[in-house]
């Protein structure tokens, strides 16, 4: 087990009607004037935004707002938010939405207090030393951004989709998590979120660090819970308890609870980011295509952890065959879950239905080119990802 | 799943030589003059105390100290610490030790800032509204006090062993966890700690709250890890990775990570407290006697969760028999682990070897009397504990 620091100071307030506590929590964390960041119209139509504002009013907290954040959020809304926050002399930001909204809010939070261009943080030119405090009212369990210090933003000009990890400055002060708010999510979004949170765990689980039993068992436990409750949620979207289990799993998957003491990789996420940056696909759906392909490749080249996943999460028995056989069977069962239960695409053809086979092959060349431009000729800790390897993995995501 | 708040703002710094960061962390959290609280001579003999002081000196932090805290810590040392802290105008307390030392430090921390008697908090007369900040250098993985807002103190006069739970005020600011520091622990103390952390999970796991899948799977995962790594540690006390897995498990078992959304019970702990309050036995060893007896009783009266534990943690197969049979088999295997692997007592006779059979039966009457005096005629959420029930459970802890 490697040395590590675990620091997750967010106050999570979970359960029925908890959005009514937004104002009291914002007050507790010192808010005087809040910028509310949100996405499309659903937060407005459902009345959620009004309830949040009412709660702020009741606690004497001023507020203004910025809507219109979209999936795969871009730098444009961040610049807009920074300008608004400065003009309105905001001292606290509340994100009402899912990962895209929260990541935009975090990026505004560190951009406001920085003299230069916030994008400097994302290209590694500067480190975040301070940020406005952020609170969250979560509506989509997926990204886990409500409990992490991470944010991912796409630069509209350069088409780079890049992330930052600043656990000491960008973790939300509080996160309000009411599973009822997730009941009206479209099945597609619920499913993509479930895949996203599973992969957040797998990216930590696919490690070469030995003797990480406590982390392994927690990862496997959370993955098992997500599969069981994910099936329930897909069958009955109004199942409060299943929604609650999924919502909490999404947080646990990404706040650092899983993966302590492991060298983490995240190659799969990086390979997906190239797809969603260019084609604006839903991140979780992109992962449903890329991650099993990555695992299929690793079943031949570094099978140990994939085989352990197969045995402990999908109950493949040790007598099934070689370590590679066991690993590949796990990948097959994982793909079945994604396809049959979650109704997600598991091939590039299904993910990008408007492209011909030829165009998909050209797209793969482009993904590989951009991936290694962003990450270097060789990257990856679990297995070295060279252009040959990434090409093979993207090709394993083609229809067989 | 029930509504809940999860708030664990402690900064955990884990790994080799991390005690050298004590001063830097104390400084980060605003310490100017520290009271170091510790236990017996081992922290002195090992040089740990000197390393902690050196680290404080290097960061320009003044310090004084109070040693001599013993297992099942008493109010006496708390009063002494409060007096010292006031006299020396302490603004930060650092506990160097295990649960007894940390609980004493927390009790001093809330006693210093309170005009009345700190015991008021323990008998429920007052709530903790403020406390000095506390930091921890952990040497015994067991109580999980490094990540919790709880403390347990025994009143020497009344012989009451009572606990407080103040997660918003008494969670340590930081906890330094170096597994190397635990390698010299006597096997008895290692084993008692392992039992204690397992029971911290079981007290949350034995719940009637339905549909707590994510909590269940995390509890079962951590229990499995503790059993596997516990066996390794007992066989090879110098196995760093096994020590590390156990050390982190002890924290996770008690900071609220396990058991979210469950109605918790803690009847087993309450029944043990009566034994250690009167006979000063090691808490974890007392639990090794009481908890399986509690589970044996529940196997007949509320078997569902005991049977689930048997199947998922000790791999009892569903075809083993009735739910009661499966549950009882799980209890048998748990007792085997405690006795054969951890070398802990599993009967009252083994726990209290100086008492005759008659004296033990008299002691049971005394435990029952005191238990219900402290907790009421009937208590317990998982199953109502009346004097008849508690008597039967204590008797199930007798040699068969």
pTM of the model: 0.97
The pLDDT tens digits of the residues spanning B229-285 come to: 999 999 999 999 999 999 999 999 999 999 999 999 899 999 999 999 899 999 999
* Average pLDDT rounded to a whole number, residues A126-142: 96
* Average pLDDT rounded to a whole number, residues B78-96: 98
pLDDT confidence of residue A206 = 97
The residue in chain A having the minimum alpha-carbon distance to the alpha carbon of residue B221 is: A217
The pLDDT tens digits of the residues spanning A323-337 come to: 999 999 999 999 999
Q: Helices A357-375 and A387-396 meet at what angle, rounded to 10? A: 140
CA distance A72 to chain B (A): 28
What are φ and ψ of residue B138, in 5° steps?
-85, 135
Residues of A with Cβ-Cβ distance to B201 under 8 angstroms: none
Tell me if A241 and B1 make a contact (CB, 8 A cut-off).
yes
Is A318 in CB contact (< 8 Å) with chain B? Answer: no
Tell me if A2 and B15 make a contact (CB, 8 A cut-off).
yes
Residues of A with Cβ-Cβ distance to B5 under 8 angstroms: 11-14
* Cα distance between residue B116 and residue B131, in whole Å: 13
Alpha helices in chain B (DSSP H): 22-28, 42-45, 48-58, 75-87, 99-112, 119-122, 187-205, 213-235, 240-252, 267-279, 283-301, 304-313, 323-336, 348-351, 357-375, 387-396
Residues of B with Cβ-Cβ distance to A218 under 8 angstroms: 218, 221-222, 225, 252
* Average pLDDT rounded to a whole number, residues A218-240: 98
Q: Is the dihedral of CA B335, B338, B343, B347 positive or negative?
A: negative
* Cα distance between residue A266 and residue A28, in whole Å: 36
Confidence check: pLDDT of B141 > 90? yes
The pLDDT tens digits of the residues spanning A262-319 come to: 999 899 999 999 999 899 999 999 999 999 999 999 999 999 999 999 999 999 999 9
pLDDT confidence of residue A159 = 87
* Cα distance between residue B179 and residue A174, in whole Å: 31
The number of angstroms, rounded, from the C-alpha of B219 to the middle of its chain's C-alpha atoms is: 16
DSSP string covering B19-37: GGGHHHHHHHTT-SEEEEE
Residues of B with Cβ-Cβ distance to A214 under 8 angstroms: 222, 225, 229, 245, 248-249, 252
CA distance B358 to chain A (A): 44
Residues of A with Cβ-Cβ distance to B216 under 8 angstroms: 225
Residues of A with Cβ-Cβ distance to B13 under 8 angstroms: 5
Tell me if A5 and B16 make a contact (CB, 8 A cut-off).
no
Neighbouring CB atoms inside 10 A of B395's CB total: 14
pLDDT confidence of residue B395 = 98
What are the structure tokens assigned to A24, written together? 């009291």
Is B14 in CB contact (< 8 Å) with chain A? Answer: yes
Confidence check: pLDDT of B294 > 90? yes
The pLDDT tens digits of the residues spanning A171-218 come to: 999 999 999 999 999 999 999 999 999 999 999 999 999 999 999 999
Cross-chain CB nearest to B8 (options A8, A212, A224)? A8
Tell me if A214 and B241 make a contact (CB, 8 A cut-off).
no
Is A7 in CB contact (< 8 Å) with chain B? Answer: yes
Tell me if A1 and B241 make a contact (CB, 8 A cut-off).
yes
What are the structure tokens assigned to A373, written together? 């431009």
B174-177 and B134-138 as β-strands: parallel, antiparallel, unpaired? parallel
Cross-chain CB nearest to B260 (options A1, A228, A248)? A248
Tell me if B245 and A211 make a contact (CB, 8 A cut-off).
yes
A140-149, A172-181, B38-47, range with the lowest pLDDT: B38-47
What is chain A's mean pLDDT, rounded?
97
Q: Do residues B344 and B195 lie in contact, with contact meaning Cβ atoms separated by under 8 Å?
A: yes
Q: Is A5 helix (H, G, I), strand (E, B) or coil?
A: strand
Tell me if B1 and A217 make a contact (CB, 8 A cut-off).
no
* Average pLDDT rounded to a whole number, residues B312-318: 97
- pLDDT category at A98 given cuts 50, 70, 90 is very high
* Cα distance between residue B385 and residue B124, in whole Å: 21
Q: Do residues B197 and B254 lie in contact, with contact meaning Cβ atoms separated by under 8 Å?
A: yes
Cross-chain CB nearest to B213 (options A211, A220, A228)? A228
Q: Do residues B249 and A257 lie in contact, with contact meaning Cβ atoms separated by under 8 Å?
A: no
pLDDT confidence of residue A261 = 97
ipTM of the prediction:
0.96
Residues of A with Cβ-Cβ distance to B256 under 8 angstroms: none
- pLDDT category at B168 given cuts 50, 70, 90 is confident
Tell me if B1 and A221 make a contact (CB, 8 A cut-off).
no
- pLDDT category at A167 given cuts 50, 70, 90 is confident
* Average pLDDT rounded to a whole number, residues B189-204: 98
**β-bridge partners, A134:** A93
Residues of A with Cβ-Cβ distance to B249 under 8 angstroms: 214
CA distance A1 to chain B (A): 6
For testing the chain B interface, which of A135, A221, A232, A251 should be mutated: the one with the most B CBs within 10 Å?
Answer: A221
CA distance B199 to chain A (A): 16
Cross-chain CB nearest to A217 (options B16, B212, B221)? B221
- pLDDT category at B159 given cuts 50, 70, 90 is confident
Q: Is B100 helix (H, G, I), strand (E, B) or coil?
A: helix
* Exposed / middle / buried, residue A278 (Cβ in 10 Å: 0-12, 13-18, 19+): middle
Cα separations in angstroms, A101 against A95, A170, A181, A302, B17: 6, 14, 15, 36, 40
What are the structure tokens assigned to B227, written together? 């059993």
Tell me if B241 and A2 make a contact (CB, 8 A cut-off).
no
- pLDDT category at A40 given cuts 50, 70, 90 is confident
Is A260 in CB contact (< 8 Å) with chain B? Answer: yes
């Amino acid at each position: 087990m490697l040395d590590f620091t675990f620091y997750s100071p967010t106050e999570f307030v979970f359960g029925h009607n908890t959005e009514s506590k937004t104002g009291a929590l914002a007050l507790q964390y010192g808010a005087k004037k809040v910028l509310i960041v949100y996405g499309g119209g659903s937060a407005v139509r459902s009345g959620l935004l009004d309830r949040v504002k009412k709660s702020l009013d009741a606690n004497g907290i001023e507020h203004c707002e910025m809507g219109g954040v979209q999936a795969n959020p871009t730098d444009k809304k961040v610049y807009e938010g920074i300008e608004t926050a400065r003009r309105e002399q905001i001292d606290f930001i509340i994100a009402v939405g899912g990962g895209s909204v929260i990541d935009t809010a975090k990026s505004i939070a560190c951009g406001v207090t920085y003299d230069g261009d916030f994008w400097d943080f994302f290209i590694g030119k500067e480190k975040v030393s301070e940020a406005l405090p952020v609170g969250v009212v979560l509506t989509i369990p997926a990204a886990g951004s409500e409990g992490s210090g991470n944010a991912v933003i796409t630069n509209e000009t350069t088409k780079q989709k890049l992330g930052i990890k600043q656990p000491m400055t960008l973790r939300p002060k509080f996160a309000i998590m009411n599973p009822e708010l997730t009941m009206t999510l479209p099945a597609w979004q619920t499913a993509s979120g479930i895949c996203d949170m599973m992969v957040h765990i797998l990216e930590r689980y696919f490690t070469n660090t030995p003797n990480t039993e406590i982390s392994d068992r927690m990862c496997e436990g959370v993955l098992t819970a997500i599969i069981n409750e994910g099936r329930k949620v897909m069958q009955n979207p109004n199942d409060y308890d299943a929604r609650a289990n999924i919502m909490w799993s999404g947080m646990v998957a990404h706040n650092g609870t899983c993966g302590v003491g492991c060298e983490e990789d995240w190659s799969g996420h990086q390979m997906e980011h190239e797809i969603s940056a260019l084609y604006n696909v839903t991140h979780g759906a992109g992962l449903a295509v890329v991650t099993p392909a990555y695992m299929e490749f690793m079943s031949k080249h570094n099978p140990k952890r994939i085989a352990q996943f197969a045995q402990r999460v999908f109950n493949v028995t040790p007598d099934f065959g070689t370590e590679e056989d066991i690993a590949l069977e796990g990948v097959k069962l994982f793909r079945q879950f994604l396809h049959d239960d979650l109704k997600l695409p598991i091939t590039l053809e299904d993910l990008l239905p408007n492209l011909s086979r030829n165009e998909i092959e050209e797209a793969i060349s482009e993904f590989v080119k951009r991936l290694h431009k962003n990450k270097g000729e060789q990257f990856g800790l679990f297995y070295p990802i060279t252009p040959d390897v990434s090409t093979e993995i993207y090709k394993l995501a083609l229809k067989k």
